[in-house]
């Protein structure tokens, strides 16, 4: 698992030494050899407000630069048409899943990005296996798919609210790992981000939604119900992060109290991933020099 604390520490050291944070960030997120899951995760000891020693102005500048590069890389992915990318965003309520999508993917060509939000299963979805609706939403070749919540809700919710037998939940861990491995074998690059915010930050954001008439529509009493189960949800996430971070579908823990840094990290990891795919525009099966455009 690529834990953000490693990256933040490396970037901070470079900043103190007057070096660019880029090299250390790339090293901390060596996506060619993602760390395996299984290591214990303690979210209470994992920072939510880290900025890696990066100033906000510099972070925003880098994010804008990365956005231009991401647009180019996404066009190459689309033109190549052989592989696809699936991005999974998970996190507590108000962790910034919508904001991440808006800021990281807004510069890309719309026809190359597919966004799906997964809420409580509909009656039709509930008739099928829990991965049925996920399979229907997978990105096609050349596309980037973004899941706002995902099949991980089908582990988290029954774990916290005890709506399924433990044996069934255990089976779902194995089903998810096998499912994501099959995706990888089919040319789908899977990136999973846990947007990690503090309980205090969540309180501020919920209060902001209540106080601002333009944001009040985002507020739901269900958010308070989830907040009452904060500790149980954190424990459930720890287990998910431990057991489903794999070489073919690694989890990245993103400190999300600072929205600008959250956006920067997600965008940078996606950029590095696409660059490592060595995408190329396909060559035409004709000689362009022999083509003449008629008057």
| Distance from C-alpha of 263 to C-alpha of 265, rounded to nearest angstrom | 6
Q: Which residue has the tokens 């400190």?
A: 255
Q: Which residue has the tokens 């399924």?
A: 164
Per-residue pLDDT band for 122 (boundaries 50, 70, 90) equals very high
Per-residue pLDDT band for 2 (boundaries 50, 70, 90) equals low
| Distance from C-alpha of 237 to C-alpha of 72, rounded to nearest angstrom | 34
Domain locations in the chain?
Answer: 2-279
Residue 28: predicted pLDDT: 41
Per-residue buried b or exposed e for 28-53, using 16+ beta carbons within 10 Å of the residue's own CB: bbebeebbebeeebebeebbbebbbb
State the chain's mean pLDDT as an integer.
89
Q: Is the pLDDT of residue 181 over 60?
A: yes
Q: State pLDDT tens for residues 8-45.
A: 444 444 444 444 444 434 434 433 332 333 478 999 99
Residue 284: predicted pLDDT: 86
CATH class for the region spanning 2-279: alpha beta
Residue 223: predicted pLDDT: 85
The region, left, alpha or beta by phi > 0 then psi within -120 to 50, assigned to residue 20 is: beta
> Alpha carbon 178 to chain centroid distance?
19
């Amino acid at each position: 698992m690529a834990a953000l604390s490693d990256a933040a520490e490396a970037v901070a050291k470079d900043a103190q030494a007057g070096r660019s944070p880029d090299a250390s960030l790339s090293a901390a997120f060596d996506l060619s050899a993602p760390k395996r899951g299984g290591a214990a995760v303690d979210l209470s000891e994992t920072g939510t407000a880290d900025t890696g020693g990066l100033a906000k102005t510099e972070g925003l500048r880098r994010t804008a630069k990365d956005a231009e590069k991401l647009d180019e890389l996404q066009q190459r992915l689309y033109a190549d048409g052989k592989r696809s990318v699936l991005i999974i965003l998970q996190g507590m309520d108000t962790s910034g899943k919508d904001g991440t999508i808006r800021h990281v993917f807004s510069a890309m060509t719309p026809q190359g990005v597919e966004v799906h939000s997964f809420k409580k299963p509909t009656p039709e979805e509930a008739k099928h296996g829990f991965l049925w609706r996920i399979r229907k939403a997978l990105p096609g070749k050349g596309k980037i798919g973004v899941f706002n919540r995902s099949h991980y809700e089908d582990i988290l919710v029954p774990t916290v609210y005890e709506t399924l037998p433990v044996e069934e939940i255990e089976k779902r861990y194995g089903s998810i790992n096998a499912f994501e491995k099959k995706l990888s074998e089919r040319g789908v690059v899977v990136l999973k981000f846990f947007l990690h915010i503090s309980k205090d930050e969540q309180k501020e954001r919920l209060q902001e939604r209540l106080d601002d008439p333009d944001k009040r529509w985002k507020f739901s009493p269900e958010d308070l119900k989830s907040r009452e189960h904060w500790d149980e949800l954190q424990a459930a996430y720890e287990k998910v992060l431990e057991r489903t971070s794999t070489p073919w579908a690694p989890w990245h823990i993103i400190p999300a109290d600072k929205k600008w840094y959250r956006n920067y990290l997600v965008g940078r990891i996606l950029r590095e991933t696409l660059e490592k795919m060595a995408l190329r525009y396909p060559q035409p099966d004709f000689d362009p020099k022999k083509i003449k455009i008629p008057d």
